[in-house]
Amino acid sequence: MTKSSAQKNSQQKITQHSTAEYFAKNLQQVGFSSPVKAVLTTLKESVDNSLDACEEGEILPEINISVKRVGIGSAKNTDLIEIKVEDNGPGIDPEYLPTVFGEYLSSSKFGRGRCSRGQQGIGISAATTWAQLTNASGVKVISKTKAMRKAVSCQIDVDIKANKGAMKEKETIDWDRSHGTSVVFRIDGRVQLNGDGGLLTYLEGTTLVNPHLTLKYKLLDNEPVEVKRVSEIVPEIPSPTLPHPHTMKLGEFMTHAHLFGKMNLQTFLKKGFSRVSDEAIKAFVQNKLPKSFLQKPITSTSESEFKTIFQAIQATELQNPSTRSVLNVGEEALSKSIQRLGQVDFFSVVARKPKICDHKPVVVEVAVARFLAKQNLSDEQSAVQLLRFANRVPLQFDKAACAITNAVESVNWRVYGLAQAKDNLPFGPYVIAVSVVSPFIKFKNASKETIDASDDLVEEIRRALMQAGQKLSRHIKREVSAADLERKLQHIEKFGPILVEYLGKVVGAPKARVKRAEEGLTKLLGRDSKAAENKLSVAETELAALKAKQKDFNLSVEESLENQEEIVQD
């Protein structure tokens, strides 16, 4: 082979592919690895987008979902499923529709350091691609902004070769709402309602961490359900704040510095970061930052000097990153929201203060609840239901590797009164919900199913769980005391007479002695049951104190639940 032909051959091998081509071939990486997951992921991406859009537009979200089986799928063993998600969000300007639904990595959120659900702009385009690959047509969209008189209806396909969205069948229509977006996907899939990967599990989870959401849904042939909001406050998505110096690695720190141009180091540190005050700069100097560096322009700072500066900063204790950059649900809202999932026997919620884990601010919130409907024998012996959330999005697959699962398993729940085999999920009719919110969550994969289990994060989640466990144990302690009392009373009735009768028999004692012994026994054991009664009343007092704290949440929820009609009649 001549040199030129060899060159030609190698040129033929190296070709450029668009991002869309890559994802079209690797949809399993973004949540489309099975027909069941395809349905869930499509629904999830649509709902995430709706919720994010409503929050951006400061609108209380009202989302309407329907999932129908409309035929047989093109692939073997699949159904043709129609997923419709309609929101009352701000709507999308028609010119952006192809970008939003048909282009990969086109998010307005990519790399911004905000706690939005979507982060990269992959999900909804992947759903469109799946619809296109399995049913030969993309997503049908209706959208209307406040400024538009009529709504736009169209179909968006992904131009896979060019990573561009293509708009088809565009028409303007009358739509009976002032603003909003409606998407309809028809895809190959299979519907699973319950269990870890089920649609109902997803919807319950979404309900739990979005107290401000009113959700109406109709799944297959089931009755339509409406879950009303329990909070009238739209969560304010914090604006991105300046980064915290401890959230950066050396390379990021240097790149960040170059953005600030001809500034001296002291000014750069104060302007470019949060939590860097004059006091902090003094502390850097104490931690071996040469004072002479402070007035030096950052443009003429060498790499080794940057390293010295960076090391001094890392060695200095700084105030926690601003809580403003992290969004949380809050204990109160969580307490109200958990009661929308069913009749709760008792619950405990814990919202931790923001912490730095893996150089990023993180807020962990935990809710543990026992549901009345779940209390049958099989639930006593099966593992608790664990709901995992990352930036308020339920995580439903690959549970074992997740930081949240690791943290739950590492807690010794036995001390709080739950049954548990060592290093496993505890047992019982409980739901443990753990929400991790952070501007940058470290996921293990692009489909965002598992949070990377770093030691820092696991420890932070563990602490939240332990606090929740302590609160929970007061309820359980009361139950244990009550059961103990019952058991003791029964014991006396059952065994006392046998003991005395056989003692009399063995010794050959006359009836009068046996009778006296019986009376003595009753006296003795009566004292014991009094002690158990006292223990019970102490446990009850402790519990009442805890309940008083939760009273405010409970009252308002009970009222709103009473007024609520769960099932909407057609």
Helix runs in 350-454, H state only = 377-381, 403-410
Tell me the closest approach of the beta carbon of residue 405 to another protein, in angstroms: 25
Strand pairing of 79-87 and 430-437?
unpaired
| Amino acid symbol at 62 | E
Tell me the closest approach of the beta carbon of residue 487 to another protein, in angstroms: 8
Q: What is the DSSP string of 352-364?
A: PPPEEETTEEEEE
Residues 501-520 interacting with another protein (rule: CB under 8 A): 502-507, 509, 513-514, 516-520
Q: Is 455 exposed, middle or buried (0-12, 13-18, 19+ CB in 10 A)?
A: exposed
- Two tokens, residue 356: 């730095």
Contact status: 524 vs another protein (CB under 8 A): yes
In sequence order, which residues have a C-beta less than 8 Å from that of residue 74 and are 6 or more positions away? Answer: 80, 134, 135, 188
Tell me the closest approach of the beta carbon of residue 507 to another protein, in angstroms: 6
Task: Please identify, using beta-carbon distances, which residue of 173 and 524 lies nearer to another protein.
Answer: 524
Contact pick of 496, 540, 556, 561 for another protein (by CB under 8 A): 496
Q: How many beta carbons lie within 10 A of that of residue 228, not counting itself?
A: 16
Contact pick of 93, 169, 486, 528 for another protein (by CB under 8 A): 528
Query: CB–CB of 428/310 below 8 Å?
Result: no
Q: Which of 48, 26, 63, 73 is nearest to 389 (CA)?
A: 48
Tell me the closest approach of the beta carbon of residue 483 to another protein, in angstroms: 13
Contact status: 532 vs another protein (CB under 8 A): yes
Helix/strand/coil for 567: strand
Tell me the closest approach of the beta carbon of residue 423 to another protein, in angstroms: 15
Question: Cα–Cα distance between 24 and 132 in angstroms, integer?
Answer: 10
CA distances from 344 to 217, 290, 558, 562 (A): 22, 59, 11, 14
Contact status: 499 vs another protein (CB under 8 A): yes
- Please state the separation of Cα 194 from the chain's center in Å: 18
Contact pick of 219, 386, 466, 500 for another protein (by CB under 8 A): 500
Query: CB–CB of 484/532 below 8 Å?
Result: yes
Task: Please identify, using beta-carbon distances, which residue of 197 and 504 lies nearer to another protein.
Answer: 504
Adjacent-strand bridge partners of 349: 367
Query: CB–CB of 106/121 below 8 Å?
Result: yes
Stretch that binds another protein, among 45-53, 198-206, 379-387, 496-504 (CB under 8 A): 496-504
Tell me the closest approach of the beta carbon of residue 377 to another protein, in angstroms: 19
**With the C-alpha atoms ordered 181, 187, 190, 195, is the resulting torsion angle positive or negative?**
negative
Tell me the closest approach of the beta carbon of residue 181 to another protein, in angstroms: 57
Residues 70-99 interacting with another protein (rule: CB under 8 A): none
Quote the Cα angle for 229-235-239, to 5°. Answer: 165
Contact pick of 492, 540, 556, 560 for another protein (by CB under 8 A): 492
- Two tokens, residue 64: 């309407």
Task: Please identify, using beta-carbon distances, which residue of 459 and 518 lies nearer to another protein.
Answer: 518
Residues 36-75 interacting with another protein (rule: CB under 8 A): none
Q: Which residue has the tokens 């869930």?
A: 40
Query: CB–CB of 127/41 below 8 Å?
Result: yes
Contact pick of 317, 523, 548, 570 for another protein (by CB under 8 A): 523
Task: Please identify, using beta-carbon distances, which residue of 249 and 491 lies nearer to another protein.
Answer: 491
Tell me the closest approach of the beta carbon of residue 527 to another protein, in angstroms: 9
Task: Please identify, using beta-carbon distances, which residue of 22 and 502 lies nearer to another protein.
Answer: 502
Tell me the closest approach of the beta carbon of residue 481 to another protein, in angstroms: 14
Q: With CB under 8 A as the rule, give the number of residues binding another protein.
A: 31
Task: Please identify, using beta-carbon distances, which residue of 254 and 503 lies nearer to another protein.
Answer: 503
Q: Residues 223-252 vs another protein: string with x where CB under 8 A?
A: ------------------------------
Contact pick of 34, 529, 554, 556 for another protein (by CB under 8 A): 529
Helix runs in 315-372, H state only = 331-338
Q: Which residue has the tokens 């929970």?
A: 472
Task: Please identify, using beta-carbon distances, which residue of 424 and 564 lies nearer to another protein.
Answer: 424
Contact status: 352 vs another protein (CB under 8 A): no
Q: What is the DSSP string of 104-115?
A: TT--SSTTS---
Tell me the closest approach of the beta carbon of residue 70 to another protein, in angstroms: 54
Contact pick of 271, 353, 491, 551 for another protein (by CB under 8 A): 491
Stretch that binds another protein, among 104-112, 330-338, 373-381, 499-507 (CB under 8 A): 499-507
Contact pick of 259, 400, 498, 548 for another protein (by CB under 8 A): 498
Tell me the closest approach of the beta carbon of residue 486 to another protein, in angstroms: 11
Ordered strands of the 180-189 beta sheet? 164-173, 151-159, 139-144, 180-189, 79-87, 62-72, 214-219, 225-227
Adjacent-strand bridge partners of 63: 215
Strand pairing of 62-72 and 214-219?
parallel
250 in the Ramachandran plot: left (φ > 0), alpha (ψ -120 to 50) or beta?
Answer: alpha
Tell me the closest approach of the beta carbon of residue 470 to another protein, in angstroms: 27
Question: Cα–Cα distance between 265 and 270 in angstroms, integer?
Answer: 9
Contact status: 530 vs another protein (CB under 8 A): no
Task: Please identify, using beta-carbon distances, which residue of 446 and 492 lies nearer to another protein.
Answer: 492
Tell me the closest approach of the beta carbon of residue 514 to another protein, in angstroms: 8
Stretch that binds another protein, among 222-230, 314-322, 474-482, 500-508 (CB under 8 A): 500-508
Q: Which residues would be at the binding site for another protein (CB under 8 A)?
A: 488, 491-492, 494-500, 502-507, 509, 513-514, 516-521, 523-525, 528-529, 532
